[in-house]
Amino acid sequence: MIVAWFIRVRQHSTTMKHQLTTLIPETKRHTSFPFDRAQTAPEHWRKEREQLLLLLAEREAEIHLLRRMVFEAQRAGQRRIARELHDGVAQQITAACLHLQALAGRYRPRSPKARATLERAIELTRSAADEVRRVIADAPPAALETHRLAEAICSEAMALQRDGWRVTTRIADVGRLPEDVELALFRIAQEALQNIRRHAGRCRVQVTLAREGACVRLEIVDNGCGFDPQQTAAGRFGLAGMQERAALLGGTVIIQSHPGCGTRIAIRIDMETDDETRMWTN
């Protein structure tokens, strides 16, 4: 519900910005002097402009407050999830890792391929255990602690390639971004690549990360089996999570897919337009 309020307020703010920007050209068409010279502008235009600026500032303040409410709600949810993970999933993953290590020590496979598969299984369970511990500790992913966003996303793409997918990357070094932006883009990339693992079948995958001024763009395309977004999006938590993460930062997510025709997921976040209201976490 908080997210819905936030999106409605943001849309209202965007509408007001449009009204303000269209007001100026209209004034110039009906007068022979620049609008920004207050001493020569008609009084009613000056007052309307001031009212719009005041309302715009109020809407931006509401957006900031709603974002803080969303953040606090997320933190409370994370604490509840952390307790559940600690008591359940974390213990099971640790036990699975110990069993795999014992298996590798006692019954070492003769086949190089079987050994590589077992080692990869141990590596994945260790990674999962580490990630669960980080979620419990409410810390950023390890990949973003030690690498830039570009390197972290490239690492996820290469992991998919090692497991048999044909992956190409066009990943530019976008530098350091605000922590909330980096985390959102990394989690969206993770979710998109995991969806390819689970649903797309063996296929070609292209991952693109680029920055154009204050705008950062992430795109993940595959030629897998595809799906019907109208039937799937409502029931697939991962897709809804992508859209929610981007919306909280004023960004957009475009999901294009069709059965048998692959999938394209494009994310765009304009950090300049959202800079005044973003709640920085670093």
Where do we find the tokens 């830039």?
A: 148
Q: Are both 157 and 280 inside the same structural domain?
A: yes
Give the model's pLDDT for residue 170.
95
Report whether pLDDT(141) > 80. Answer: no
In this prediction, residue 37 has a pLDDT band, given cuts at 50, 70 and 90, of low
Q: Are both 162 and 257 inside the same structural domain?
A: yes
**127 or 233, higher pLDDT:** 127
CATH number of residue 202's parent domain: 3.30.565.10
* Residue 12 located in a structural domain: yes
* Residue 119 located in a structural domain: no
Q: Are both 282 and 166 inside the same structural domain?
A: yes
3-state secondary structure the chain: CHHHHHHHHHHHHHHHHHHHHHHHHHHHHHCCCCCCCCCCCCHHHHHHHHHHHHHHHHHHHHHHHHHHHHHHHHHHHHHHHHHHHHHCHHHHHHHHHHHHHHHHHHCCCCCHHHHHHHHHHHHHHHHHHHHHHHHHCCCCCHHHHHCCHHHHHHHHHHHHHHCCCEEEEEECCCCCCCHHHHHHHHHHHHHHHHHHHHHHCCCEEEEEEEEECCEEEEEEEECCCCCCHHHHHHHCHHHHHHHHHHHHCCCEEEEEECCCCCEEEEEEEECCCCCCCCCCCC
Q: Are both 190 and 278 inside the same structural domain?
A: yes
Query: What percentage of residues in the chain have a pLDDT greater than 90?
Result: 21
Domain boundary among 28, 53, 74: 74
Domain boundary among 44, 74, 104: 74
In this prediction, residue 266 has a pLDDT band, given cuts at 50, 70 and 90, of very high
* Residue 19 located in a structural domain: yes
**pLDDT digit string, tens, across residues 186-212:** 989 998 998 898 888 899 999 999 999
Residues ≥6 apart with Cβ < 8 Å to 161: 167
Q: Are both 64 and 166 inside the same structural domain?
A: no
* Residue 67 located in a structural domain: yes
Q: Are both 156 and 274 inside the same structural domain?
A: yes
* Residue 92 located in a structural domain: no
**Closest of 157, 269, 261 to residue 206, by C-alpha:** 157
Q: Are both 156 and 253 inside the same structural domain?
A: yes
Domain boundary among 74, 108, 130: 74
* Residue 126 located in a structural domain: no
Q: Are both 153 and 278 inside the same structural domain?
A: yes
* Residue 80 located in a structural domain: no
* Residue 125 located in a structural domain: no
Q: Which of 7-11, 67-71, 85-89, 152-156 has the lowest mean pLDDT?
A: 7-11
**Closest of 239, 148, 142 to residue 194, by C-alpha:** 239
Report whether pLDDT(85) > 90. Answer: no
What total of structural domains would you count in the chain?
2
**pLDDT digit string, tens, across residues 162-179:** 989 999 999 999 988 888
Q: Which residues span the domain enclosing 22?
A: 2-74
